[in-house]
Structure 1
Amino acid sequence: MKVKKYQAKDMAQAMTKIKNELGHNAVILNSKQVETGGFLGFFTKKSIEVIAALDQELPPVRSKKKVSPAKLNQTEQKETPNQLSSEIDELKRMITNMQGDGPSASEDYPEALKVINSQLIDQEIHSNYRSLIMKNLLRRWYKEEGENKKQNDIKEWLESELRALTSEASFGEFKYDKKYLNVVGPTGVGKTTTLAKIAARAVLQEKKKVAFVTTDTFRIAAIEQLKTYAKILNVPVEVAYSMEDFKEALTRLQDYDFILIDSAGRNYRNAVYVEQLNEIMDFNDETETHLVLAVTSKYRDMKKILEQFKLIKVDKLIFTKLDETETLGAMVNIIADSKIGSSYLTTGQNVPDDIEEATQGNILERLIRR
């Protein structure tokens, strides 16, 4: 079998080329529209790419001219097993490249871009976003004479693409333009410790008069942990078991500048718990809700948790446990998916030290550096 790829301005021209070279017995295996340029189809002029094959056990019919016996015998010769295997492998490679994201797709990138592609895979950037980024980097490589660029220049291109991917999200810490910060999240993400870090920043740096309210009555340890932090910071704690308790607590704390609300750390993949939270909490214009997610979690789990919070408006994301993983791509994935930015990043258990304001720049810088 002989397999070949053709490029032409339209199908009619492609068919003419195929008939002239392979004859009327050739068959079309695949076709797609590409952009002229001959390299992964990333240039401006439209063309068509066709993969055709000829079973050489049949003599190709190129014209009505008489074919000599010698020539006919040559066309009827069968390929060796090695030749056939090689052509089948080439066919598989071409079809995989046409699909755009198979293991061999990156083989056609310039060496410097192969490095970037490998890094994005290693950081678990979602394949859809990775394909978009690499397509744009490749286009820029040729338009800006990438062969003469240094690796640092290419990393700047990468940062630009990642910024575009997360440009619709809003970043930055709580600005105290609202009185209440409601912190929610599943179990095991370090929610209560994060709450204490935010409170410490408010007390020590912003000189705010701070108080805690907790609705996490399912775990005695969580209440005791929050009370310990409150004692260290010399701030009050109110425990709310119902909506009535919650309203009364806020009334008692009305003279405070900033009130942090610690919600129950339960399994938010179950929508019932979010509904219960919605019943006990009063989400109003004076409240911001920040969802805590651990970057050690799987991306699909983060998506599921965020999806369950459709009943409650999530204003920002807090990413914890950055010190416990080398893979940060899930942060970019979830921000790009949801268009929700981040307020804080935490990097350890120390209160109040291991927390920093989340900005688009420091999230992307961490990702690129790793």
Structure 2
Amino acid sequence: MKMKKYTADTMPEAMKLIRKELGEEAVILSSKAVYSKGFLGLFKKKSIEVLAGMDSMESPAPILEKPTIQQVQENPNSIAIKKELEDLKQMVKSIGRQKPNRTYPDELEALIHHLKEQELAEELITSISDELFVHMKKNEDHISIEMQQKLAKDYLKSQLETFPFGGISYNKKYINVLGPTGVGKTTTIAKMAARAVLEKKKKVGFITTDTYRIAAIEQLKTYAGLLQAPIEIVYNEQDLQQAMQKFEALDVVFIDTAGRNYKEVKFVEDLQELIDLKENTETFLVLSSTSKQRDMEVIIEQFKEFPIEKFIFTKVDETNSIGSIINLMVKYKKGLAYYTDGQEVPEDIMGTSLDELLNLFFKGDSL
């Protein structure tokens, strides 16, 4: 086997050198990080040292050459080795497609660590880190933590500023609240309704389609009683139309949809058949900030046919990381209506702005 050692700043750069000299059939035998003094000894510079090789049996044999007895006997082993080399080759190609693991100055470590702890998306962390690094180079390799936070906030603001922020607009009568079971949807609706009554002096009513959980109906009835608001339970589209007629004189009507496992397509389709309010409806999707981001993405994908304008994130007080809020807003281009941080009605709900979200993300002076 032909072997050679390569040194480069990143693994993708090393891959380019290896492919150029050894071709696509090359395999990685080992790799490690090596460090050397940077400019004036201020920073350690990280490089990647890779040992690569190319098996000679991958070279094509002359067409007219007849195989020897020894070659025929080795054939089974050759097949196994070739398969292993093919697997390694695919691994090399996969590594080449990955984004480089850039090395940044120690001065940026605290902020980068915070971004990772908040579970911000890797591509956002990389973009922010690159911005900070460029700024350092333009300003004699020094940047205060305050400036780091400012630049990081400015970058995130540029990604989020086109999305709507804030709670109910009160431009539409029906507030359609979607969400899976267990996210605190009914309590969140009660908080929204209580604010509409106490702060905006609105006459409100409730419609619930959650006929699967008796506890949820009783919970909403309790809140409706406290707010002296009417409530209707609907089982089908006809019931819904009748409820809307009864509530014609009200200012705002909150629709509590059934809390189901919306990973099941059938439940989403059932909901689509029941709820078809496009002209005079604001639609919010409630998600729990304690859920895994991948699980939330599955829910969002299932609701993609609904005209969701903004997210509502619950249980912010029960998690140490809120990067998924930003990640999902950026990925799905949706705004943020509220986040909730407790069970008290109506206190523990925040109609947030972009600046408030970023302040929450960076937690003030925690860095």
2:161 & 2:234 partners in 1: Cα distance? 38
Match in the other structure for 1:355: 349
Q: Which runs of 4+ in 1 moved over 3 A?
A: 1-7, 26-30, 49-55, 96-101
1:123 to 118, 126, 130: 118
Q: Does 1:151 align with 2:145?
A: yes
5+ residue gaps, structure 1, are: 8-14, 16-25, 31-38, 41-48, 56-95
1:244 to 238, 244, 247: 238
Q: What displacement does 1:165 show? A: 2.3
1:313 & 1:189 partners in 2: Cα distance? 20
Instruction: Specify the code of the residue in structure 1 equivalent to 2:131.
Output: N
Q: What displacement does 1:364 show? A: 1.5
Two-structure CA RMSD over aligned residues (Å): 3.1
8 Å CA contact 1:29–1:53 kept in 2: the answer is no
8 Å CA contact 1:296–1:321 kept in 2: the answer is yes
Q: What displacement does 1:229 show? A: 0.4
2:215 & 2:97 partners in 1: Cα distance? 56
2:342 & 2:207 partners in 1: Cα distance? 24
- Trace 1:14-25 onto structure 2 (pairs within 5 A): none
Q: What displacement does 1:282 show? A: 2.1
Q: What displacement does 1:325 show? A: 0.5
8 Å CA contact 1:27–1:54 kept in 2: the answer is no
8 Å CA contact 1:275–1:311 kept in 2: the answer is no
User: The residue matched to 1:310 in structure 2 has which SS?
Assistant: coil
Cα displacement string for residues 216-245 of structure 1 (whole angstroms, at most 9, x for unaligned residues): 111111110000001011111011110000
8 Å CA contact 2:136–2:142 kept in 1: the answer is no
1:144 & 1:29 partners in 2: Cα distance? 41
Match in the other structure for 2:293: 299
8 Å CA contact 1:170–1:341 kept in 2: the answer is yes
User: The residue matched to 1:273 in structure 2 has which SS?
Assistant: helix
Match in the other structure for 1:141: 136
Match in the other structure for 1:86: none
Q: What displacement does 1:160 show? A: 0.9
Match in the other structure for 1:80: none
Percent identical: 40
1:315 to 309, 314, 321: 309
2:97 & 2:205 partners in 1: Cα distance? 59
TM-score by length of 1: 0.73
TM-score by length of 2: 0.73
Match in the other structure for 2:359: 365
Q: Compared with structure 1, are the counterparts of its residues 29 and 52 closer, same or farther at alpha carbon in structure 2 (3 Å cutoff)?
A: farther
1:200 to 187, 194, 197: 194
Q: Compared with structure 1, are the counterparts of its residues 4 and 308 closer, same or farther at alpha carbon in structure 2 (3 Å cutoff)?
A: closer
1:296 & 1:188 partners in 2: Cα distance? 11
Q: What displacement does 1:148 show? A: 3.5
Q: What displacement does 1:313 show? A: 1.4
Cα displacement string for residues 59-89 of structure 1 (whole angstroms, at most 9, x for unaligned residues): xxxxxxxxxxxxxxxxxxxxxxxxxxxxxxx
Q: What displacement does 1:186 show? A: 0.3
Q: Compared with structure 1, are the counterparts of its residues 208 and 29 closer, same or farther at alpha carbon in structure 2 (3 Å cutoff)?
A: same
8 Å CA contact 1:29–1:51 kept in 2: the answer is no
Q: Does 1:112 align with 2:112?
A: no
Instruction: Specify the code of the residue in structure 1 equivalent to 2:132.
Output: L
- Trace 1:1-370 onto structure 2 (pairs within 5 A): 3=5, 5=7, 100-101=99-100, 105=101, 108-145=103-140, 147-369=141-363
Q: What displacement does 1:97 show? A: 11
Match in the other structure for 2:41: none
Q: How many residues align?
A: 294
Q: What displacement does 1:127 show? A: 1.5
Instruction: Specify the code of the residue in structure 2 equivalent to 1:329.
Output: G
Q: What displacement does 1:132 show? A: 2.1
Q: What displacement does 1:190 show? A: 0.3
Cα displacement string for residues 82-125 of structure 1 (whole angstroms, at most 9, x for unaligned residues): xxxxxxxxxxxxxx999655xxx45x311221222211111111
8 Å CA contact 2:166–2:351 kept in 1: the answer is yes
1:4 & 1:216 partners in 2: Cα distance? 63
5+ residue gaps, structure 2, are: 10-16, 25-36, 39-46, 54-94
1:114 & 1:339 partners in 2: Cα distance? 29
Match in the other structure for 2:64: none
